[in-house]
Chains A and B, each alone.
Chain A
Amino acid sequence: MERATLDFWVGLFVVAGLAALLGLALKVGNMSSFATTQSYEVKADFNNIGGLKIRAPVKSAGVVVGRVSDIHFDNKTFEAIVTLKLDSRYRFPKDTSAAIMTSGLLGEQYLALDAGGDDKNLAGGDTIKITQSAVVLESLISQFLYNKASDSPKADSAPAAASTSGVPSHE
């Protein structure tokens, strides 16, 4: 085969392969995951992080403003310390609160930031004071059952009170 044709086809192949790689990075994946943009790190302590994972999104008002970069357990306070990497374009007041939420009913967990009213902004290395832990389904259910149990005498008395005015009861 002639050298020029060979060069052309190989060039086309290499360009197509590199374009495919670029397409995978840009169209299929999302290149804009703060790889190039400036960011600052903020810590937050939680009693329970539930199923929060590293690289989980940090959202404020539903917009992704950063990612969870590290999670570890503090041996002194027995709390989970979550490190957030926030995009420097977004600044939050010092009394911003953080909560672990679930997207959808059974979706992945994310960290929601709710801006406060302080004049000063969070800087790199700061710790978010007000936090709300993940809702654990089991404790929620047990709390519900507990409330139900303590409510039950009232629930019994209500129909009894109703029955006095209406149809005579078997009592």
Chain B
Amino acid sequence: MKPPKQNLISRIGHSVIDSIWIMGVATRFLMQVLWRSGTSWRRFGLIIREIYASGVLSLVIIIVSGLFVGMVLGLQGYQTLQTYGSEQALGVLVALSLVRELGPVVAALLFASRAGSAITAEIGLMKTTEQLKAMEMMAVDPIARVIAPRFWGGVISMPLLAAIFSIVGVFGGYLVGVVLIGVDEGSFWSQMQAAVDVREDVLNGVIKSVVFGFTITAIALFEGFDAMPTAEGISRATTRTVVTSSLAILALDFILTAFMFRGV
């Protein structure tokens, strides 16, 4: 639906109206998913299948990257803290940066590229091969049967993955800091425990990862559902999922951080 000839002003107006329209469609889509997810909660097997697809299959990349991020934090943090003679604070540095920021954010970025792209491609192909339409013909609601279980699978998986990422990262920092370099083990853990607050740090990290899981899965599902039903359309939709959700994660992370940690 492209009008033949336009001047600059009407092109700007066109793109603004288009983007607002897309936002409206996406919101209505999300509302419908939430509204019709009753079936998937009653048939919990559907959600379990999707937790397997987006959660269990992402475990390897999450654990490996968490370990390496933690180990790099241990090395770099030690280098910096050593110059101030406070290398005992390494545990605090590793734990706080993982629990507050890196755990939720990096796990969400990995989740978007590993699970989000897979969801978009799957739904896009279903749309292209008219499987969704076929379901409607059989009076099966594709949103309730296909979309909603994937949505809840992603929302459940994401915080668990972020928590696993953080704990593996802390273990990686421990490996490098205490086992390899030889920071005192007692002060590593005790200073960490004194500085990390369960409600302020851990719970806020969990809230972040729930928000990210919600966002990523919603974007991935909408892009798949909205994809042009061609091979090229699927590839574009997959790319858009990764780009849009990564940007959304970073922007949301800033907003959430500004609200959560503005200093007592």
Contact = CB atoms under 8 A, between A and B. Distances in A.
Interface of A: 1, 3, 6-7, 9-10, 12-14, 16-18, 20-21, 23-25, 27-31, 33, 35, 53-55
- Of listed B48, B59, B161, B163, residue having the most chain A CB within 10 A: B163
A17 B198 contact: no
B51 A25 contact: no
B74 interface: no
Contacts of B59: 13, 16
Nearest to A18: B160
Nearest to A6: B52
A131 B7 CA distance: 74
Interface in B148-195: 156-157, 159-161, 163-164, 166-168, 170, 189, 192-194
26 contacts: A3-B45, A6-B48, A10-B56, A12-B56, A13-B51, A13-B59, A13-B160, A14-B51, A16-B59, A18-B163, A21-B159, A21-B206, A23-B167, A24-B99, A24-B166, A24-B167, A24-B205, A27-B189, A28-B99, A28-B193, A28-B196, A28-B202, A30-B193, A31-B198, A33-B197, A35-B198
B264 A54 contact: yes
Given A9-B52, A13-B56, A20 B202 contact: no
B43 interface: no
Which of under 10, 10 to 19, 20 to 34, or 35 or more describes the interface residues of B? Answer: 20 to 34
B121 interface: no
Given A13-B55, A20-B164, A21-B163, 7 more contacts: A3-B45, A13-B56, A17-B164, A21-B160, A27-B189, A29-B197, A30-B193
Contact of B202 (A6, A12, A24): A24
A6 to B, nearest CB: 5
Contact of A24 (B48, B55, B163, B194): B163
- Of listed B45, B99, B168, B194, residue having the most chain A CB within 10 A: B194
A24 B66 CA distance: 14
A10 B167 contact: no
Given A7-B48, A9-B52, A31-B198, A16 B164 contact: yes
What does DSSP make chain B's interface, helix, strand, loop or mixed?
helix
A2 B262 CA distance: 49
Nearest to B58: A13
A64 to B, nearest CB: 9
A153 B31 CA distance: 84
Interface in B82-102: 95, 99
Interface string B197-210: 11001100110000
Nearest to B51: A10
Contacts of B52: 1, 6, 9-10, 13
A81 to B, nearest CB: 16
A25 B166 CA distance: 11
B190 to A, nearest CB: 9
A7 B206 CA distance: 24
A20 B167 contact: yes
A55 B51 CA distance: 39
B196 A29 contact: yes
A29 B11 CA distance: 54
A63 to B, nearest CB: 13
A90 B51 CA distance: 48
A66 to B, nearest CB: 15
B28 interface: no
Nearest to B193: A30
A7 B46 CA distance: 11
A24 B198 CA distance: 8
